[in-house]
Amino acid sequence: MRLYHGSNVVVEKLEVNAGRRALDFGAGFYLTSNRDQAVRWAQAVTRRRRNGNAILNCFEFDESKIASLVIRRFDGPNSDWLDFVVSNREGLCEAHGFDVVIGPVANDSTMPVLHIVYGM
């Protein structure tokens, strides 16, 4: 399976604990199977950081390894997903115990819902 990571730098080695922790799914390395989404993210990161160029990093994932992983899957933005995202963004799920979390990430239009519902 081909997965993508949009950034303003070339990523040669995955560093799971290098990023910020208060993200939708907690600390980790975020990938998507949607190439266009990764390209848009790379462009946004480059604009925000005002540094480097938009880079599309590509990785191959061996799907035979899935059976050995602890996976949390969200099929859509439902109440369980929202609770999980809010807990991670507030830093309440420092180590949630999943190897992989699959699901939608909150975008800018989702944040007002988080603010209203949870008073963030």
All structural domains of the chain with their residue ranges: 2-118
CA-CA-CA-CA dihedral for 86, 89, 90, 94, to nearest 10: 110
Model-wide pTM > 0.85: no
Residue of higher predicted confidence among 95 and 12: 12
Say what the pLDDT of residue 117 is: 56
Give backbone dihedrals phi and psi of 91, rounded to 5 degrees, phi first.
80, 20
Question: What percentage of the chain has pLDDT greater than the value 90?
Answer: 39
Give backbone dihedrals phi and psi of 89, rounded to 5 degrees, phi first.
-65, -30
Say what the pLDDT of residue 25 is: 86
Say what the pLDDT of residue 13 is: 84
The stretches of the chain forming alpha helices (DSSP H) are: 35-49, 79-89, 111-118
Tokens 């309440």 -> residue:
92
Average pLDDT over residues 27-52: 91
